[in-house]
Amino acid sequence: MPRYLGIDSSTQSCSAIVIDTDRSEVVLDLSVHYGEELPHYDSPNGYLYPEDSVAQHSNPLMWVEGLELLFARGREAGFDWSSVAGVACSGQQHGSVYLNAGYTEATWDPAVPLVDQVRPLLSRATSPIWMDSSTTKQCEEIAEAAGGGERVAAVTGSRPTERFTGPQIRKFFQEDPEGYQQTARIHLVSSFVAFLLAGRDAPIDYGDGAGMNLLDLAQGRWSDVMLEATAPGLGDKLPAVVPSNTRLGRIAPFFVRRYGVNESAEVVVSSGDNPNSLIGMGASHPGTAVVSLGTSDTYFAAMTRMQVDPAGYGHVFGNPAGGFMSLICFKNGSLTREEMAKRFQMSWEDFSAAIRQTPPGNNGNLMLPYLFPEITPRVLKPELKLYGSGAFRSWHDSAAAVRAVVEAQALSMRLHSQWIAERPQTLLVTGGASQNDGILQVFADVFQAALRRLSVTNSAALGAALRAANACSGIDWDALYAEFAAPEPGTIQPDPDTAAVYDRMLVELQRRLAEVA
């Protein structure tokens, strides 16, 4: 009865999925919400600072405590952790954790909570995460030192990007040189969780490592040019970089003795949430694009060849199944949709009904939906800008406002994905908002593509579990996808009559974005 565990340490929660490859089913699916269940970290949405702050950090100890609570909850629910043969992890991309030299001697005592053992290892109390956009100066400095933004993109797959780990490390080095000097190891969120599970240092995989502005994608190693441009001695502080199917060895005895995990269970190298979602959606082969509607919205797809976005918004990461993947991230995702629902005191049923009550094109009403600083396109001073009728502009038309925010998000995604050579005929959707039919119909119409959704919404954790199965037992990707990543029956079809409407709106969106650029 081979079972494989996938863990996702995301912005707002830590979740787990266990698959049984003999029975072809998910046998465990649970989650710990940081804000609700770990309120002592003062992070209702998983991060520390006000939502409108350009700087955004989390407490890494919250991730440690969430991981332990996840194992405890599974045991309390009667799940037999000894049935797990392997585990792989997913982590929110770009977040980083800073450890002092004590990490090399860390041995987890089963009698002591893990969070208490990790606390003295931190050389930096908080972790910058993907929502942080405070490193513009550092991005400019890195670009200048490395030969320009286009050169950085050609090497790393992305131009210097505010939320990426390299600029965040440079800022830390500049603002706290003593703390940087005391830092012996810099982990990503994903490799940090692997370090916890393995009880020893863990490498970084190509998929997540590509989100750092430090990895030479073509060579599969840290770039000397980028390391030099970022911070002194950085190469010595980074783990090794390895393929995504690398096995790290057996799980730490801490989890065996404290939670009853199988002592022979193997830990597979971790990866980022977006590369894991590519696997969890069964989309590691070129031809199908994935739309993830979560805290941030993302658009990603396997690539037939490596190419970069000339505008500098899109990114190229490693595909865990081999090769490359494209990714575009839109910071104003579910939190912006949720804010619109709260503004008008709507349930999600009301939200979907509002979309049905308004026509495609929204009678000419258009919104720039930037509640937070945006990364695609670059908007550092967020604002909800309304263009259209008087009732719409004065927030007296709730249905039009709901449609406007969703249409703007879908149109922006279409606009900023046009650089990718492969134009998909099908979009696979995941994330919390993927359960809302009204939202999905807008995306189908804007892209003029059929939409299919995955029944397991936590595609990052599922992708991690599938990676564990592939690495530990050699099960073929297509066989795993057929059993665990097959989309739900049926599709949401686009209305061809809306194509011309959204072509015109795309042009109008471009014009409005140019005005605020």
Please tell me whether the peptide bond between 377 and the residue prior to it is cis, using omega within 30 degrees of 0.
Answer: yes
* Sequence letter at residue 177: P
Task: Give all strands of the β-sheet with 324-330 in edge-to-edge order.
Answer: 315-318, 324-330, 297-303, 289-293, 426-430, 450-453
Q: Looking at the predicted structure, is the pLDDT value of residue 292 above 90?
A: no
Tokens representing 263 are 């002592």
Tokens representing 176 are 């706290």
Chain mean pLDDT for the chain: 94
Rg (CA), the chain: 22
**Mean pLDDT, to the nearest integer, of 370-399?**
92
Write out pLDDT tens, residues 209-239.
Answer: 999 999 999 999 999 999 999 999 999 999 9
Question: Rounded to whole angstroms, what are the CA distances from 234 to 138, 309, 410, 459, 502?
Answer: 15, 27, 39, 33, 47
Q: Read off the pLDDT band of 294 (50, 70, 90).
A: confident
Question: Rounded to whole angstroms, what are the CA distances from 473 to 7, 297, 468?
Answer: 18, 33, 8
Tokens representing 501 are 């409407």
Cα separation, 443 vs 375, in Å, equals 20
Name the helix (H) or strand (E) containing 388.
none
**Mean pLDDT, to the nearest integer, of 446-462?**
87
For residue 30, the SS3 value is strand
Q: Looking at the predicted structure, is the pLDDT value of residue 20 above 90?
A: yes
Write out pLDDT tens, residues 340-349.
Answer: 999 999 998 9
pLDDT number for residue 373: 87
In the chain, count of helices (H) and strands (E)?
Answer: 20, 25
Q: Looking at the predicted structure, is the pLDDT value of residue 45 above 80?
A: yes
Write out pLDDT tens, residues 304-320.
Answer: 888 899 888 999 999 99
For residue 27, the SS3 value is strand
> Cβ of 451: how many Cβ atoms within 10 Å?
24
Handedness of CA 20, 25, 27, 29 (dihedral sign): positive
Tokens representing 419 are 């650089």
pLDDT number for residue 271: 98
Write out pLDDT tens, residues 61-97.
Answer: 999 999 999 999 999 999 999 999 999 999 999 999 9
Q: Read off the pLDDT band of 424 (50, 70, 90).
A: confident
Q: pTM score, two decimals?
A: 0.84
Let me know: does 408 contact 370? Beta carbons within 8 Å.
no
Beta bridge partners of residue 9, listed in sequence order: 14, 91
Query: What 8-state DSSP symbol labels residue 233?
Result: T
pLDDT number for residue 1: 63
- Of 369, 96, 347, 118, the C-alpha closest to 239 is 96
Report how far apart the first and last C-alpha atoms of the chain are (Å, whole number): 56
pLDDT number for residue 488: 85
Report which of residues 136 and 50 the model is more confident about: 136
Domains of the chain (ranges; CATH) run 3-274 (3.30.420.40), 282-453+487-517 (3.30.420.40)
Tokens representing 198 are 């393995």
Q: Looking at the predicted structure, is the pLDDT value of residue 366 above 70?
A: yes
Q: Looking at the predicted structure, is the pLDDT value of residue 364 above 90?
A: yes
Question: Rounded to whole angstroms, what are the CA distances from 300 to 7, 51, 311, 326, 371?
Answer: 21, 25, 16, 5, 23
Cα separation, 80 vs 60, in Å, equals 28
**Mean pLDDT, to the nearest integer, of 416-434?**
85
**Mean pLDDT, to the nearest integer, of 98-116?**
96
Judging by DSSP bridges, how do beta strands 450-453 and 426-430 pair with one another? parallel
Q: Read off the pLDDT band of 286 (50, 70, 90).
A: confident
Q: Looking at the predicted structure, is the pLDDT value of residue 243 above 80?
A: yes
Cα separation, 34 vs 46, in Å, equals 6
Cα separation, 392 vs 401, in Å, equals 7
Let me know: does 84 contact 264? Beta carbons within 8 Å.
no
Q: Looking at the predicted structure, is the pLDDT value of residue 422 above 80?
A: no
Q: Looking at the predicted structure, is the pLDDT value of residue 8 above 80?
A: yes
Write out pLDDT tens, residues 152-180.
Answer: 999 999 999 999 999 999 999 999 999 99
